[in-house]
Amino acid sequence: MRRLPTHLIVAAALALTVAPALAQESTGRFAGETTVNVIEVPVRVIDSATGQPVTDLGLADFRILEDGVEQPISNFSEIRSTVAIRPAAEPAADDQVPGAAAAKPLEIVYFFDLFLMYRGDRDRAVEGLEAQYRQAVPDGERVSLVAFDGELETLTDRSRDRQEILDGLNAIRSIEANGIKQRISFTQELSESAPTNQRDVGFYEHQQRNAEFMYELERKTAQVGNAILATMARYGTADGRRVLVAMTPGYPKTDWSPTYNALDFLDASVEYPQEDLWRQISRQAADLGFTLYTVDTSGLSSSFPSDVTIGINDSVGQIVQDSLIQDSADGGANADFEDPSGPRGSTTGGADLNDTSQNLGQWLERARKNLLITSAADTGGSAVFPADVNRAVGEIRHELDQYYSIGYVAQHSGDGGTYAIEVQLPGHPDYRLIHRTAYIDQPAATRSAQALRSEMLFGADANPLGIRLEVGELDSRFRLGAAGSKRVRVPLEVKIPYARLAMIPRGDLYWGKVVITFFGEDAKGNQSELASFEQPITVDSARYDEAVARGYFKYTATVEVEGGEQRVFVGVQDTLAGRTSIIPHDLDY
């Protein structure tokens, strides 16, 4: 599918050079480090007949497979109310006494998407959470509240204090939500605008309006998705069970959407905006150990656009099964939990695209819900479309009260591969297992870059490493982008004082390592991809004192940006000391 424009390109392969103030030499011999990659999988076991959780199962009852290959279980415990009631490994003999109960804290992050939610939906979410935490915060639970309305803001950070949580919720209510009602007003104007000339009358103008509408949906969804990814990266190192509850409709819900005629599909088909992004969210959630719940507080009784009457006819005639389970008594208007069924991964949400009674608004609505369902289910969570947010959040927290924590040691670490996970209960076909189904084994450098990007988006600009950024003269030559926009190349120099770096003796050298990350954002909130590089740094032992006294390491790079207002972030993480510096720099060409 078409991607949004990239607003920052770092020339790493061709234009990236490293020029330290003091000469570097061969790194020589060095003792490597060993990483044990323990994959922990929270598993809920449900009795299919009663719908109730199954307790008191033991390690011997379970099998766990990665990519179809059984793995030895290295860690096992049953968690009830954040307390492990079984030891990590069962006693080897009957007369052994099990180890003491261990705490398993619950790190729960509530993400409020004020960018796409209606104010009424936001208020219902706030009121539901206030009811949940008005009395007390359960033992072992830490609560964070994060809001996004074009910028990320933390209202409550890992708190166990009831009043702090209520104050944070009250602050969310007071935020002026510049959501979809204000920001996609152009769509109604577009639907009523006059054709630009005779050639555009009918088909061409109609096709352009559809393309602009879908592009805007994609852009808005990308901004929210990037904010969710940054939030998970920020809290991804927390101890205990990690849960993200995203209060979001998933992508903009509008009062107007364009129509599609059969003629439109002669040269193009309809694509769901940011399908790949939501898959990335579910994969990163699994990789960081998050269980993802999505809560759409607009509920199930959504009204489709009233001005769309022409059906949508997909060019390949794909027919998929509807994954939304409607409540037979009230048509689904008051249903709370949705369970995916039928073919997984379909983003058409069950719309029969050969049925000319369907329209784009209905197709997008069903696709939106189906994508929320499958993304959450892939992490062991669920999608919720509640009429009562208080009850829905209560059910989510109830689900987290009891589960089994199963761990195994993967035979790989940081290779970037995607691995499927399957948990089995041999001899118990009447039990249903809920757990994350896959994860990406991200390299350490990638995780560091994601953490840096998260700090950038949360507004961090601390500089404990004392780095300096110098901007050179831009390349006077330019090329035109696809949209006819000017692009310029800007040389950057990042200077890192040796005195602030953690370096260790290594034979006749001192050795350290940094991760340098570049990231860009334009005035509209569009974000570039991360460009991140691991850089070892060495200094001759004989010159180390001199380097600390007056030297710095210089890292040069060239970034390519589009014309207009851009903000470039440069982050440097000292991997030995665990300290990070971030410098933002504004460009306007």
pLDDT of residue 226: 86
Residue 580 has pLDDT above 70, yes or no: yes
Whether residue 171 contacts residue 155, with contact meaning beta carbons closer than 8 Å, is answered with yes
Residue 8, token pair as written in the block: 């920052």
At 266, the pLDDT band (50, 70, 90 cuts) reads very low
Mean pLDDT of the chain: 74
pLDDT of residue 224: 86
Higher-scoring residue by pLDDT: 119, 308: 119
Residue 323, token pair as written in the block: 């994954």
Residue 261, token pair as written in the block: 């005629």
* Domains contained in the chain, CATH given: 8-33+444-588 (2.60.40.3880), 38-81+404-440 (no CATH), 106-399 (3.40.50.410)
Cα separation of 580 and 452, whole Å?
Answer: 8
Cα Rg for the chain, rounded, in angstroms?
Answer: 26
**Least confident span in 31-35, 168-172, 383-387, 465-469:** 31-35
pLDDT of residue 307: 27
For range 407-415, the mean pLDDT: 89
For range 315-327, the mean pLDDT: 29
Residue 109 has pLDDT above 90, yes or no: yes
Higher-scoring residue by pLDDT: 11, 124: 124
pLDDT of residue 298: 76
Centre a 10 Å sphere on the Cβ of residue 133 and count the other Cβ atoms it contains.
Answer: 21
Q: What is the Cα 568 distance to its own chain's centre? A: 21
Cα separation of 375 and 279, whole Å?
Answer: 6
At 44, the pLDDT band (50, 70, 90 cuts) reads very high
For range 84-89, the mean pLDDT: 56
Higher-scoring residue by pLDDT: 308, 406: 406
For range 404-418, the mean pLDDT: 90
pLDDT of residue 514: 92
The position carrying tokens 């011999």 is 29
Cα separation of 397 and 392, whole Å?
Answer: 9
Higher-scoring residue by pLDDT: 346, 564: 564
**Least confident span in 101-115, 296-310, 528-542, 555-569:** 296-310
Cα separation of 297 and 249, whole Å?
Answer: 7
pLDDT of residue 200: 45
pLDDT of residue 187: 46
Instruction: State pLDDT tens for residues 56-66.
Output: 999 999 999 99
Cα separation of 544 and 21, whole Å?
Answer: 12
pLDDT of residue 221: 79
Cα separation of 328 and 101, whole Å?
Answer: 45
pLDDT of residue 361: 60
Residue 223 has pLDDT above 90, yes or no: no
pTM confidence score: 0.72
Residue 172 has pLDDT above 60, yes or no: yes
Instruction: State pLDDT tens for residues 470-520.
Output: 888 776 555 554 444 567 788 889 999 999 999 999 889 999 999 898 888
For range 357-361, the mean pLDDT: 50
